[in-house]
Chain A
């Protein structure tokens, strides 16, 4: 008698097999885009610390369409990260008072989307002269 049949191992493209596996892989890959943005942000800080003249020159470079396109991609990746992160909060850190469990949507809004909106507005407000 032959041993049990073992299905062939998954190749490197395993995440294409199921929709939620693909969404997972996209979520993980946003971190590569965000990492590139963080490198850019460190350069930004270095230029900023270099003085007004250096910084203005740097800002002029950033009006280039390539910079805009890169930032658009970074923004999409960052928002994808935020949304996918907040959407799991009810699973990871459910809010419970006694036996009552806050509905998932409320948990997600209170612990994720609301602080996100408030913090984004505060950062804008603080950064504006």
Chain B
């Protein structure tokens, strides 16, 4: 892989690293603990509130940026970790798999957030 490509992937990693560090812990608390443990009456209210919140474009764009770029952060680190664990011989295949998966994840986040 040429040096210019690495600079590009690294910049996505860095952006995803920052956004992920700022947003993912609170998202985990929301999706894993707060939303599932709300009582059923509240749950309906939550849903309409969240639909309204995620209906706004600035919120949509922010969520896509957080999820999409975090995918690249993970892909970049997993790629380097696999190579560090002795798979340097398969560098090309690992890059394709990791960044390919990240691209799919980012695209999925765009489609899924846009349709809300």
Query: Which one, B33, B74, B85, B109, contacts A12 given CB within 8 A?
Result: B85
User: Beyond A31-B73, A116-B22, is A59–B17 a contact (Cβ under 8 Å)?
Assistant: no
User: Beyond A49-B112, A49-B116, is A120–B74 a contact (Cβ under 8 Å)?
Assistant: no
Chain A residues with CB below 8 A from B17, complex form: 81, 85
Closest 9 CB pairs of A and B: A71-B32, A31-B77, A62-B36, A35-B74, A45-B112, A129-B49, A82-B21, A120-B26, A85-B21
Cα A127 to Cα B115 with chains together (Å): 19
A102 at the B interface (CB under 8 A): no
Residue in B closest to A122 when the chains form the complex, CB atoms? B26
Chain A residues with CB below 8 A from B25, complex form: 75, 78-79, 82, 116, 120
Besides A37-B28, A70-B32, 5 other CB < 8 A contacts?
A34-B70, A41-B31, A42-B67, A45-B113, A68-B33
Mask of B29-57 contacts with A, CB within 8 angstroms, 1/0 = 11111111100101111111110011000
Can you offer 9 A-B residue contacts whose CB atoms are under 8 A?
A: A12-B86, A14-B84, A52-B48, A62-B36, A78-B20, A123-B26, A127-B30, A127-B34, A129-B49
Residues of A within 8 A of B (CB): 11-12, 14-15, 25, 28-29, 31-32, 34-35, 37-42, 44-46, 48-49, 52, 55-56, 59-60, 62-63, 67-68, 70-72, 74-75, 78-79, 81-82, 85-86, 112, 115-116, 119-120, 123-124, 126-129
Residue in B closest to A69 when the chains form the complex, CB atoms? B32
Main secondary structure of the interface of B (DSSP, over half): helix
Q: By the criterion CB–CB under 8 Å, are A45 and B20 in contact?
A: no
Residues of chain B at interface, number, CB under 8 A: 53
Cα A39 to Cα B30 with chains together (Å): 16
B23 at the A interface (CB under 8 A): yes
Cα A68 to Cα B53 with chains together (Å): 25
Chain A residues with CB below 8 A from B86, complex form: 11-12
Q: By the criterion CB–CB under 8 Å, are A81 and B78 in contact?
A: no
B27 at the A interface (CB under 8 A): yes
User: Beyond A49-B115, A55-B47, is A38–B71 a contact (Cβ under 8 Å)?
Assistant: yes
Q: By the criterion CB–CB under 8 Å, are A115 and B81 in contact?
A: no
Chain A residues with CB below 8 A from B61, complex form: none
Chain B residues with CB below 8 A from A85, complex form: 17-18, 20-21
Chain B residues with CB below 8 A from A129, complex form: 42, 45-46, 48-49
